[in-house]
Structure 1
Amino acid sequence: MRFMIIVKATKESEAEVVPNPDEELLVAMAEYHEELAKAGVLLDGSGLHPSSRGWRIKYSGKKRTVVDGPFTETKELIAGYTIIQVKSPEEALEWTRRFPNPAGEGKEAEIEVRRLYELEEFGPSDTLDRFREIGMDGKK
């Protein structure tokens, strides 16, 4: 089972500045991700640039419209993510309880955890086999 740990954006993470987290936070994040890697459950993780450097594509029928950032509602944005592969939701919960506060200890922050779909959850399909062939089956 794969889970994505989503670090919610804040006004600070959306500010147009070069990231400069304090050393204590960097150490905590490095130690946590090293533990994930040593346990063999870490698949990927990274921080994201602010939404001012991104865009959205809005769909209306067959029409696509590009909307440039920044996006004002930070509650709807993410600042980073970590993807883990574990045996159960309980194991994912245990790992996420240990996730360091992404804003730094004592500050307000939020992470969200969502399970990723596995191709095996869908019925047999030649089209799904195409996803497997290009490596989109979540297998390490």
Structure 2
Amino acid sequence: MRVMVLVKATEDSEKGFNPAPETMAMMEAMGKFNDELRDAGILREADGLKPSSAGKRVAFDGASRTVSSGPFAHPHELVAGFWLWEVKDMDEAVAWVKRCPNPMPGPSEIEIRPLYEMADFQ
């Protein structure tokens, strides 16, 4: 099964990249974790996102389209990064996330969501 693994944003991540030593150590640990995922054949894609201040939102209401510029409120509702994994089941995904280095300097949260497959629509 394919899963999208979402690193939730924090107030720190919304400030942008900080080249502090603890950030660089986390980036190195995350690189090693990504190597493990790749070696296990699980990793399909991974990347970090710039803060919402660099983003746009397009709101749809019928034929109307309204564009809003970031930053967006409530960092805990935003995404700071993601992985796309191919795993046996949700238990395997959870086991891998538990091995993940903390992606933020403080408390953080990672969400795992299964992707729809064609079989889900039959």
* TM-score (normalised: structure 2): 0.91
What is the Cα-based RMSD across aligned positions, in Å? 1.3
More strand by share: 2
> Which residue of the partner structure matches residue 108 of structure 2?
109
Larger radius of gyration: 1
Equivalent positions of 1:13-32 (< 5 A) are: 13-15=13-15, 17-20=16-19, 22-32=23-33
Task: Measure, in 2, the Cα distance between the counterparts of 1:119 and 1:20.
Answer: 42
Identity of aligned residues (%): 43
Hey, what does 1:120 align to over in structure 2? Answer: 119
d(CA) in 1 for partners of 2:86 and 2:6? 14
Q: Which residue does 1:57 correspond to in 2?
A: 58
In 1: Cα distance, 2:37 partner to 2:88 partner: 14
Deviation at 1:23, TM superposition (A): 2.7
Q: What does 1:1-140 align with in structure 2 at a 5 Å threshold? A: 1-15=1-15, 17-20=16-19, 22-104=23-105, 107-123=106-122
Which deviates more, 88-97 or 40-49? 88-97
1:25 and 1:18 map into 2 onto residues whose CA distance is 12
Choose between structure 1 and 2 for higher RCO, CA contacts under 8 A separated by at least 6 residues. Answer: 2
Q: Specify the alignment match of 1:128 in structure 2.
A: none
Deviation beyond 4 Å, 4+ runs, structure 1: none
* Residue identity in the other structure for 1:13: S
Structure 1: unaligned runs, 5 residues or longer: 124-140
